[in-house]
Amino acid sequence: MYGFIWRHLPGPLAVRILLSMLLLLLALYLLFNQFFPWLDPKLPFNQVGPEGGATP
């Protein structure tokens, strides 16, 4: 997968490195701001209230 992305990035080496860094940052951003917050309520240590869930 990474080889495929690397081969399809345009430009000289410096530009490729820059672009792959940007892609990496984008992936991290999506993980921390979209995917993990979505996953969060589904994890077992997040229910604190009585009556079976976070909401009483």
Partner 1 sequence: MITLGVVMLLLVVYQLFWTNIESNRKAHQIESQLREKWALPPTKGPKIPGDAVGIMYIQRLGKTWEKPVVEGVDLDDLAKGVGHFMETAEPGEVGNFAVAAHRATHGEPFANLNAIQPGDKVIVETRTDWYTYTVDKMPGASADHPAWKLVDPNFGAVVLPVPEKPGVIATKKLLTLVTCNPRWGHTTRLIVYGHMTKDVKKTPGANFSDLDYFNGKKG
Among 5, 18, 31, 34, binds partner 1 (CB under 8 A): 31
Distance CA 1, CA 8 (A): 11
Fill in the per-residue mask, 2 to 21: x = in contact with partner 1 (CB under 8 A), - = not in contact.
Answer: --------------------
The number of residues that bind partner 1 (CB under 8 A) is 22
Q: Work out whether 32 is an interface residue with partner 1 (CB under 8 A).
A: yes
Kindly report the CA angle at 52 between 43 and 40, in degrees rounded to 5?
A: 20
- According to the binding rule CB under 8 A, does residue 55 interact with partner 1? yes
Pseudo-torsion of CA 36, 41, 47, 49, nearest 10°? 120
